[in-house]
Structure 1
């Protein structure tokens, strides 16, 4: 009887990788096993961030007072004007609906505080631009010289002030801008009567 010879063939493969290699040897009837090698992970040191800078101290807020007004008012630029406050003496009046020229915010000039002695408000020390708003809207004032008064803004004197003359007529807005410095925590204006009562429509105090 002739015997058949079964020859088992062995194969050997070598796989070479960049960082590792695997060697396997298998027979025709055996399953192969493989070994995988993960590439080494690099260790990155965490960066240390610099501490955040301390926020700068907030600047003083702008102060806006609508003299003579009973309620706060927001103008066309979204700026809020407080109702009448800070005055010593005098009285207030509103003239709703009156037409005011030379301004985009006529509502400021439709109320006024008049016959006052002073205006005072607490603010942080520093430099400011004071804007004083005037308009001659009283029907009893018929022309130049009918209302004349003086006022003092933080030591700066304005003598013989005539709203009609400054604005160029009645129902016209006029703004007097005055650079000032506050050193005692209080912003002050004093008023003196000459002819008719002193009056004012609005006060802005803008930090510089």
Structure 2
């Protein structure tokens, strides 16, 4: 049976005491992990991106040391006026980057068909997009106008995107071209329901 001598016990006790003393140090000038964590740091997302910090981007050590190197070679990108994507966008919106036309069919295909499909048949997918064609709810032009102005569930409001004439035109298209109803839809009909305060960005508001 081994019995530790007093000298053998003293050394571990001295080491433990020294470690505990370090944990309880009260010297305010000594940096702590908490102080480092609480320190405010300015982080540049662009700098981290350009220096190789993006996930799934592989660069050599020499490239990482080069602070002037961009992972994305912007010199190969077209300038805005020659960007083919922008040209396509401007062609759709008649060069104004906003709805300009008062053609109801064009407005429908540019703003509604992405969810409700080009024939108004609706769709299922990440959500439910109700059909607008052959839909008895479309008999009321004021029902359509109200939804355009205020949005409905996942559908955004077009309050600030379309003026009265444009809303009347797209309503007429849904009411009479996608459905068999023949009421005349006018800008005055829209003006009756339009209010000054557009809904918030959350469609549930």
Please classify the TM superposition score into its range, dividing by the shorter chain length: under 0.3
- Point out the structure with the larger strand share: 1
Q: Which has the higher contact order (CA 8 A, sep 6+)?
A: 1
Q: Which has the larger radius of gyration?
A: 1
More helix by share: 2
TM-score by length of 2: 0.19
